[in-house]
């Protein structure tokens, strides 16, 4: 299977919504993604495509010289194929090319698979947000990656 990483467009939203709904207990809405793509000048979104269908996506906000990853998700039928890694590489490459010095994100404390992925890309736990998630009040770990080292 050939996977291509491209910029997310409005045409990808239907696939992205399916991935979002199958990946998160409190998924973003179609309107949220439309707002990100159309109105958020800080937003950077990529999709992973196979056979012209989005099978994963990743988003980040560029705020001055910092990046904040908003979400990364891969369709359940395509997990464990290094698609999440490819998307994270795309975000980090964008960061390098656009003078982003550090990238942060929040991840559920229970999401060990995501934490392992981020650790492979030099993200380290630097803090905790107590009761961060609205659905079950689970803590989020704050992870960061220094792009200058």
How many CB atoms lie under 10 A from the CB of residue 149? Answer: 7
| Dist CA 87 CA 35 (whole Å) | 21
Question: Whole-angstrom Cα distance, residue 94 to residue 141?
Answer: 24
Query: Which sequence positions are flagged as catalytic?
Result: 106, 118
pTM of this structure = 0.94
pLDDT of residue 31: 97
Kindly report, residue by residue over 70-104, the tens digit of the pLDDT. 999 999 999 999 999 999 999 999 999 999 999 99
Domains of the chain, start order = 4-146 (3.40.630.30)
- pLDDT band of 40, cuts 50, 70, 90: very high
């Amino acid at each position: 299977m050939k996977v291509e990483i491209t910029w997310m467009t409005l045409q990808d939203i239907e696939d992205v919504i399916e991935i979002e709904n199958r990946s998160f207990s409190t998924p973003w809405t179609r309107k949220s993604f439309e707002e990100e793509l159309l109105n958020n000048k800080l937003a950077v979104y990529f999709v992973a495509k196979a056979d012209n269908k989005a099978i994963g996506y990743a988003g980040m906000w560029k705020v001055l010289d910092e990046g904040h990853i908003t979400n990364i998700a891969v369709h359940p039928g395509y997990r464990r194929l290094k698609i999440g890694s490819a998307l994270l590489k795309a975000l980090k490459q964008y960061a390098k090319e656009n003078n982003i010095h550090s990238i942060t994100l929040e991840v559920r404390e229970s999401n060990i698979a995501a934490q392992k992925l981020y650790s492979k890309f030099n993200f380290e736990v630097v803090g905790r947000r107590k009761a961060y998630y609205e659905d079950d009040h689970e803590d989020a770990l704050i992870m960061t990656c220094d792009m200058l080292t």
